[in-house]
Structure 1
Amino acid sequence: MTTPSGPVVSHRFRVGLLAGAFSCLMLSAAQAGHPRVEDWQGQYTCGQGLTGLTLAMTTDLSGQVQALFHFYGIPQNPTVPDGCFMMSGSVQARHLVLLPGEWRKHPANYVSVGLTGDFGADERLAGTITGPGCTVFMLSRVAQAPVLDDCGSAIS
């Protein structure tokens, strides 16, 4: 009886390497299949003046977006109340369209708004707020923006 020679051991080693590489590829593909979650922070202008904005977005593989629009006062306009509402829409070819949805925290005399914008290569998102007296917004991507009060944990 003879023992396995060098070529058999080499074949087993190659099979093991291929199986390991396949497992890594499958894991990467599964991770890539998860929705993308991003936080954007900056400012926009509407009837109340310059206003702080944090936009927390979840985008699925088909480009459908669920978002939380969280607005608040900033040093240049500290009297703006804190408020937030849900949004939904889509992103296609770096162009985002979001429509307003359910309020999470609704300050008196405020209306929900929509937005359209484009993602820049420099991790910026800029565009137009669609609502009465509104003009433009400019946001930058942040690692994780703090969301406070009733506006927290709004995206599931």
Structure 2
Amino acid sequence: MLVYRDLLTDDELLSDSFPYKEIENGMLWEVDGKWVTKSPIEVDIAANPSAKGSDEEETVEDKAVKVVDIVDSFLLQEKTSFDKTQFRAYMEQYADKLASKLHGKKQDELKQRMDGAIKYIESRLEKMQIFVGESMHENTSPVFAYCKEGATDPTFLYLAYALTETEA
């Protein structure tokens, strides 16, 4: 299995279990998430019912919860939303940090194409949730989620050049 890690923080953000489609000149990966029900967990506390004079087995049950598969699988943490001015400033600083980790052709492509990716995300910003990796490091790559018109499951946007592929 391939795991895609944040180039700046090494947080796991995605795996090849979630197919992606390249958009915006290959700068963004679009990934479909799904609401799933996380099964309840039964925990046998190993009590001896006969010792208490009871025939019932004692267990602890958690209730099932609905989660978004990608958020749950990679322990993504929600970040405070931005207005457009804050978003633009944040992304420009982030792009500089990311560019410093890239070399040659990739660095040039990032500089040429990043503005298009920023505009694409910015046009949907009001509908977006922003997530970061588990470490919540200040330099972590943002992951954007929104629901397309008429959809109930979220679509995630990843900055392709922010990901590095490793085998798990």
TM-score of the aligned structures, taking structure 1 as reference length: 0.26
Which has a greater percent of helix?
2
Bigger Rg over Cα: 1
Q: Select the structure with the greater relative contact order (CA < 8 A; seq sep ≥ 6).
A: 2
TM-score of the aligned structures, taking structure 2 as reference length: 0.24
